[in-house]
Amino acid sequence: MSKTWLGNFIFFLAVAFSPAAAQTFQSSNLPIVIINTNGFNILDEPKVTVDMKIIDNGPGKRNNVTDVANVYNGKVAIELRGSSSRVLFPKKQYAVELRNAAGADTAVSLLGLPAEEDWVLSAPYNDKTLMRDVLAYKLGRSMGRYAPRTKYCELVLNGNYQGVYFLNEKIKRDKNRVDISSLEPNEISGDDLTGGYIIKLDKVDGSSGPGFVSEFPPRSAVNKKITFQYEYPKWDEIVPQQKTYIANFISQFERALAGSSFADPDQGYAKYIDIDSFVDFLIMNELTKNVDGYRLSSFFYKQKDSQGGKLFAGPIWDFNLGFGNANYCTSGEPSGFVYSEFNRLCPNDTWLIPFWWEQLFRDANFAKKVSERWVSLRNGKFSTASIHAYIDSVAAVLNQESQQRNFQTWPVMNSYVWPNFYVGPSFEAEVNWLKGWIGQRTTWLDANLTQLVTDVEENIPLKTQVYPNPFPSVFRVQIPSRAGTFRLRIYSMTGTLLEDHVVQAEQNGVFNASFGGSLARGLYLYRISSAGKEIAAGKVIKQ
């Protein structure tokens, strides 16, 4: 054990378990949530019944802890939630269940969000921008998918200020959340049995019991298992017939995906899944370079056969370690794919990525859908300017006053909190670093996630490779081809022609050449043509 590692670990423990700094809190520009436990301790489980008030006087108005509760004033059942965060971090997050006077669950609209009884008070702690989850869910909704809606607030617990939180929707079956059919214990045959289900890949916690195991281990880790858990119906409510049905459905999908005809649109994997939802799920996990992506907090749901019957990927959940906030496995560098690299980099991790995603990319049609969807999103909701504008809007609200109070209470700024990749001296520095990381990440994905499909002659193959990308000094072009003349041009991102090469392939086979030696560091466009026809185009990055 190195002294450096030991010293860092001791420092981490000192920061993580240090008590909150007390401060007087009277009012906020954000809604205020006040919880009184009446002497009870909040546990991992079971839930305890406590009092909760929410104050929100509307946009532009001050909220005071002494104001009348005008959003909610009543009983809730509350418990700790989270896995690593519950154990490691002193700033706790909570699951709350709204209760009426008789003690029964009751659906209420909170802070303008659709009425429901189950909510989460999320507590950003190691995410010092306070916004990674909020940003990810916003981007997920901008794709036209359901993702949890959020509202920032400040929390007071038993008279003690707890910092900046955000109220968000718990993932569950509901017409305003995961809109699938209900599945009752007596529905064990016919169309009723086929849906709806929500399953997930995640760590086992108090709400997750035994699940079912995939017959396919993760690639390159045959000694590991992929275990699915029942989210809806819950593990202690789902009946044996329903367990058997959903496990068999996943098995049929996996066998089709692993089979020799996996890409067949009628008999392959497409028979079982909603492909577009899998494309969007992949893009969100790659955009954020989510180190937990595909293997933890990963939800899937299935509707009844009479309503389509396919498996959907999502909703997305838990991105506090995304956007460059993790220093292990895939790391916080803005380059690299999670779906194909995590298992190789961390083969001994308990939770690995299923073989699904690498196999899906072996289907040219799936890869094309990913490419086209990425380009479409980048031309709109996922443009760097659009993402940066949203970050700036959130930071402007938090920077008025609430983030200062939060970091006075939890003095983690300029200190490493597991598993930070970047440690900044201030909230502004953390936000600026996040924006810079997103700019670099989207640039890398522009060059590596896209492929251009063009109308070319049948005897000019499209299996052109440009590698490595990014490249340190020169990149190589490999073109399976007939003998002939090829032209490669390299442009700046503004369209200025920088290099123009005409090269001769002397014989049939594979043509290889190296280019880019004169280029400075940056992002460039390349185009390759033959006989007046463009056969390949894309982007390359010089490091």
Residues 536 and 487: their CA atoms lie apart, in Å, by 11
Give DSSP secondary structure letters for 522-534.
Answer: EEEEEEEEETTEE
Residue 470: what pLDDT? 77
Structure tokens at 98: 């709204």
Residues 515 and 471: their CA atoms lie apart, in Å, by 10
Residue 532: what pLDDT? 64
Say if residue 480 is preceded by a cis peptide, omega within 30 of 0.
no
Q: Which H or E run contains 97?
A: strand 93-99
Residue 464: what pLDDT? 65
Residues 57 and 90: their CA atoms lie apart, in Å, by 30
What does residue 57 show for φ and ψ, rounded to 5 degrees? -90, 5
Global confidence as pTM: 0.81
**Cα–Cα separations (whole angstroms), residue 300 to 53, 59, 78, 173, 181:** 34, 36, 26, 12, 14
Q: Which H or E run contains 540?
A: strand 533-542
Residue 313: what pLDDT? 98
Please report how the helices 427-448 and 275-287 are oriented relative to each other, as an axis angle in degrees rounded to 10: 130
Residue from 11, 60, 63 nearest 34 by CA: 63
CATH class of the 465-542 domain in this structure: mainly beta
- The 8-class DSSP code of residue 319 comes to -
The residues spanned by each domain of the chain are 3-169+384-445, 190-322+333-364, 465-542
What does residue 389 show for φ and ψ, rounded to 5 degrees? -65, -40
Render each residue's pLDDT in the chain as its tens digit; 543 residues.
Answer: 333 333 344 344 444 445 566 678 999 999 999 999 999 999 988 999 999 999 999 999 999 999 999 999 999 999 999 877 778 899 999 999 999 989 999 999 999 999 999 999 999 999 999 999 999 999 999 999 999 999 999 999 999 999 999 999 999 999 999 999 999 999 999 999 999 999 999 988 656 678 999 999 998 777 899 999 999 999 999 999 999 999 999 999 999 999 999 999 999 999 999 999 999 999 999 999 999 999 999 999 999 999 999 999 999 999 999 999 999 999 999 999 999 999 999 999 999 999 999 999 999 899 999 999 999 999 999 999 999 999 999 999 999 999 999 999 999 999 999 999 999 999 999 999 999 999 999 999 998 886 433 332 333 344 566 767 777 777 777 665 554 677 888 888 777 888 888 877 654 444 456 677 788 888 888 888 776 667 777 788 887
Residue 523: what pLDDT? 84
Residue 108: what pLDDT? 98
150-157/32-36 β-pairing? parallel
**Cα–Cα separations (whole angstroms), residue 434 to 147, 226, 322:** 21, 32, 10
Task: Please name the residue ranges forming H helices in 335-494.
Answer: 338-345, 356-360, 364-378, 384-398, 402-409, 427-448
Burial of 239-260, coded b for 16+ CB within 10 Å and e otherwise, reads beebbebbbebbeebbebbeee
Give DSSP secondary structure letters for 201-247.
Answer: E----TT----EE-SSPPTT-TT---EEEEEETTTTT--HHHHHHHH
What does residue 533 show for φ and ψ, rounded to 5 degrees? -110, 135
